[in-house]
Structure 1
């Protein structure tokens, strides 16, 4: 099955292992606040949960720990990531995770089956996010909820010393858009949910700060592998990333004086009873 949208783990970064570690760091950095917000939105132990775009299984693992009496269906289109998730969770999940290789836009799962659905850092890569939300709407039970956790490139991070990312960010937006994704999807999450038929739509922000969780937690996210991979593929020129790399080196040289703050968005919608 071909990968969907603008993301494929095996080609997104210079090395697959570097990409896996980046995905793991994304979970670790914001999990506690995301879990708190998920529970505030109504996620509860014992629910039948769908995870759309489950990746290599790090977020799935957190759900298994948070919800010891829940079953989790992990839908992932990328066979590389699905295989890694199955291996990673084999001894950790106690048989409570059902792995499904499918597109989130056509899961093949029965209607009215799940109490709660979570799509984390998935919608940013989808060519038709409304269709994906409609498919999740279909397989949720009446009263079930979907929470989309995603980013917006213009509201992603702040650093000290400042890290000049503007030119690369704009180029990255263009490249991802050419592949069917949208790095600014965060601002559209509420409208996506509403267009898909969800009601009682709400939005919360999740902020992670290095002064709280330590700069080390962010280190894998500072890896320029995805940017350098685009240079290697001829999608971004070396001159276009020059100022980015200079800023990166200045940031790294600041050592213990470095500060980074990232922003995530969590949108929730409910299927009518």
Structure 2
């Protein structure tokens, strides 16, 4: 849907290249590639004994299952929340006995009790939201005093680097992707805005943790095709938002990059904020009058 903001944000799996089946495979590949690097950051904020964790925007549960396996205490309650019933059906089918509860619902109006979680995680979700501050405020309402909201996302202007650099051949195509996502209510530059988004939502102790991984670590640049190949731009060509010539140049540059065994380093950001703790420590000491 071009030109109008979609109520659920700019992410619609059926509109991705290859439809829902291809998107299911891409989400699994994405989790396999990046989760270990994300977890090295997120482990600092995860409960170590008991408690509860929410994966907000869990999709197919590809990361929810990996999160469940990483948590130190098997008694920690894990919930996955997503608005797309098709993706949730995949999640439930792939892990019927893994101790995860999957719930259908919108991040802006989560059908979950307030103050029930120690950590809420939202991965690659905020770039699709028309009202990220409102979503952060809603998710913060699910946290217990002292709990953390952790948002993992990317920034198209800080995505990483490549050698050889062929970005000049594909820059126009990816600008079109950013414009199309913005027209649907998304923001591919969201990572740079996340610290202020979380503060505007009332969160404290906002922390930024970057993470990176390279094509050499994952078996070569070809392994990154589900994330980086311009084939993902084909729906824009079909919608008329991207010219066929621009797409062809981007695709030719990608194919040449793969043929040259190019090197790429991908950069992501985990930004977290804490809900104010209960009790006397919640208030800051007042300064004496001068």
TM range (shorter): over 0.9
Query: 1:24: how far off?
Result: 1.5
- Give the equivalent residue in structure 1 for 2:125: 122
- Give the equivalent residue in structure 2 for 1:107: 110
Q: Distance in 2 between matches of 1:235 and 1:176?
A: 11
* Alignment root-mean-square deviation, CA: 1.6
Per-residue CA deviation, residues 47-72 of structure 1 (Å, 9 max, x unaligned), is 20111000111001101111232211
- Give the equivalent residue in structure 1 for 2:22: 18
Q: How does 1:161-172 map to 2 (within 5 A)?
A: 161-164=164-167, 165-172=170-177
SS of aligned partner of 1:147: strand
Q: State which of 198, 206, 211 in structure 2 corresponds to 1:201.
A: 206
- Contact kept, 8 Å, 2:230 with 2:250, in 1: the verdict is no
Structure of greater Rg: 2
2:142 counterpart of 1:136: no
SS of aligned partner of 1:55: coil
SS of aligned partner of 2:144: strand
Q: Distance in 2 between matches of 1:62 and 1:46?
A: 17
SS of aligned partner of 1:5: coil
TM-score, structure 1 normalization? 0.92
Q: Distance in 2 between matches of 1:20 and 1:252?
A: 24
2:13 counterpart of 1:6: no
- Contact kept, 8 Å, 2:126 with 2:132, in 1: the verdict is yes
Q: State which of 151, 156, 170 in structure 2 corresponds to 1:153.
A: 156
Q: Distance in 1 between matches of 2:118 and 2:44?
A: 15
Per-residue CA deviation, residues 194-229 of structure 1 (Å, 9 max, x unaligned), is 000000000011101122232254232233332012
Q: Distance in 1 between matches of 2:257 and 2:156?
A: 20
1:247 and 1:225, CA in 2 relative to 1: closer, same or farther beyond 3 A? closer
How many matched pairs? Answer: 267
Q: Distance in 1 between matches of 2:223 and 2:123?
A: 19
TM-score, structure 2 normalization? 0.87
Q: How does 1:187-198 map to 2 (within 5 A)?
A: 187-198=192-203
Q: Distance in 2 between matches of 1:84 and 1:269?
A: 31
- Give the equivalent residue in structure 1 for 2:52: 48
Q: Structure 1 unaligned runs (5+)?
A: none
Single out whichever of 68-77 and 217-226 deviates more from structure 2: 217-226
Q: Structure 2 unaligned runs (5+)?
A: 1-5, 278-290
